[in-house]
């Protein structure tokens, strides 16, 4: 049973923990739509299954899947992974799932943001999205956690928190007129503070170049822990990503977090530039209402889009020229965790990566 609560997490003493804090589980949703995943989603399903298995070593994983795919999905996963039937429009549970919040006396609840498929009818990625908008509520029912229905459109991948009162996000996404055009920057900030239990906002300007989410921060930068931010970086000045990352570096280095700390910024190399091949593009069904996949289009590839599990960091392998270096940066940031790289191009081809397809359930305190 999950009740809907009319107040806000902050008013009730709840906050979103940092991803570095211990988890009691992780949710993943199963990919199947052929207009986003090539070859009927079979290669993506293999990649998602590998992520599920890798995270399941760190914390128990639940996979949400349609009735249509249930048997197939179940057959690909270990028995220790829970598989539940739950309808979705696609597989981005970072964005469609709940943002869990906790208090200091063993309470855990969830925020159910409004979801419009990354822009609704003004540049959104598919129509309809109503099943996705119900995902958070259903996950909260299964988890037995009470729910706050937030009054704004927001995706979980568009914010990162340190768990100590600081939020990072991009203006490109949160201030985009296709999300909450009726709200000012100050009103959006206040809503985030109310629903994430935070008090300090650090605005970055843009996300990763050509990111179809309108620049989710989780593809650009994340907290390794309070006071330390990982930032996608390229020294290649002819790459438009360079100016984006340089601007973000300046903003992060000039910021003070909620505890009054200056931030340490750790640069993680940017892969590529990577583009879609002819073969990959031709494997995606072109259907009305969904975003076309065209050969030669740049992919929004980033090693910052990793899952920070309780005992393991699971990061995407994207480009043999940079995979080892990215792994070393992560090992330096997370010396007490096992750092595991998994082939992730098939996830990238769908428009996101490992962080976007996972949603942690924080441990009770």
Residue ranges binding ligand KQY (CB under 6 A): 36, 92, 94-95, 125, 155, 157, 212-213, 216, 218-219, 350-352, 356
Q: Given the complex with ligand KQY, which of 2 and 36 has the nearer CB atom? A: 36
Measured in residues, the chain has a length of 365
Q: Given the complex with ligand KQY, which of 352 and 362 has the nearer CB atom? A: 352
Per-residue DSSP letter, 262: B
Q: Given the complex with ligand KQY, which of 43 and 157 has the nearer CB atom? A: 157
The CB-of-170 to ligand KQY minimum distance in angstroms stands at: 12
The CB-of-177 to ligand KQY minimum distance in angstroms stands at: 19
Catalytic position from the list 73, 222, 333, 356: 356
The CB-of-355 to ligand KQY minimum distance in angstroms stands at: 7
Helix (H, G, I), strand (E, B) or coil at 170: strand
* 52 backbone dihedrals φ, ψ, rounded to 5°: -60, -45
Q: Given the complex with ligand KQY, which of 95 and 189 has the nearer CB atom? A: 95
Residue with tokens 């910021």: 255
Cβ–Cβ < 8 Å for 253, 264: no
The CB-of-11 to ligand KQY minimum distance in angstroms stands at: 28
356 is catalytic: yes
Strands of 207-311 (E only): list them: 221-225, 228-233, 264-269, 307-308
The CB-of-43 to ligand KQY minimum distance in angstroms stands at: 15
Which stretches of the chain are DSSP H helices? 42-56, 70-76, 93-96, 130-133, 135-143, 171-174, 185-196, 240-253, 278-282, 323-333, 345-348
Cβ–Cβ < 8 Å for 61, 26: yes
Q: Given the complex with ligand KQY, which of 3 and 286 has the nearer CB atom? A: 286
Helix (H, G, I), strand (E, B) or coil at 44: helix
Catalytic residues, by residue number, are 356
């Amino acid at each position: 049973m999950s009740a809907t609560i009319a107040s806000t997490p902050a008013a009730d003493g709840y906050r979103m923990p940092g991803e570095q804090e211990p988890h009691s589980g992780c949710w993943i949703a199963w990919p199947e739509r052929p207009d986003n995943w090539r070859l009927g989603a079979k290669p993506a399903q293999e990649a998602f299954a590998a992520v599920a298995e890798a995270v399941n070593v760190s914390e128990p994983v639940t996979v949400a899947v349609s009735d249509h795919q249930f048997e197939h999905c179940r057959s690909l996963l270990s028995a220790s992974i829970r598989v539940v039937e739950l309808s979705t429009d696609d597989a981005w549970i970072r964005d469609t799932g709940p943002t869990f919040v906790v208090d200091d006396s063993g309470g855990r609840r969830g925020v159910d943001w409004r979801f419009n498929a990354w822009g609704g009818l003004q540049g959104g990625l598919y129509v309809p999205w109503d099943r996705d908008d119900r995902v958070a509520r259903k996950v909260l029912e299964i988890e037995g956690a009470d729910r706050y229905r937030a009054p704004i459109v927001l995706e979980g991948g568009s914010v990162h928190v340190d768990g100590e009162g600081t939020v990072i996000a991009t203006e490109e996404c949160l201030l985009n007129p296709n999300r909450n055009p009726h709200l000012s920057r100050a009103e959006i900030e206040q809503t985030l503070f109310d629903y994430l239990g935070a008090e300090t906002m650090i605005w970055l300007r843009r996300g990763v170049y050509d990111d179809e989410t309108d620049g989710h921060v989780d593809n650009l930068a994340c907290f390794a822990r309070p006071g330390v931010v990982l930032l996608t970086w390229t020294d290649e000045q002819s790459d438009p990503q360079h100016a984006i990352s340089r601007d973000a570096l300046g903003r992060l280095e000039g910021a003070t977090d909620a505890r009054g700390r200056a931030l340490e910024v750790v640069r993680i190399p940017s892969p590529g530039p990577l583009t879609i091949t002819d073969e990959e593009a031709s494997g995606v069904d072109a259907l009305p209402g969904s975003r076309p996949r065209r050969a030669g289009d740049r992919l929004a590839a980033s090693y910052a889009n990793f899952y920070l599990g309780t005992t393991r960091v699971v990061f995407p392998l994207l480009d043999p020229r940079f995979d080892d270096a990215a792994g070393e940066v992560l090992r330096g940031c997370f010396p007490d965790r096992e750092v595991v790289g998994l082939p992730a191009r098939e996830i990238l081809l769908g428009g996101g990566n490992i962080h976007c397809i996972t949603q942690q359930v924080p441990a009770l305190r």
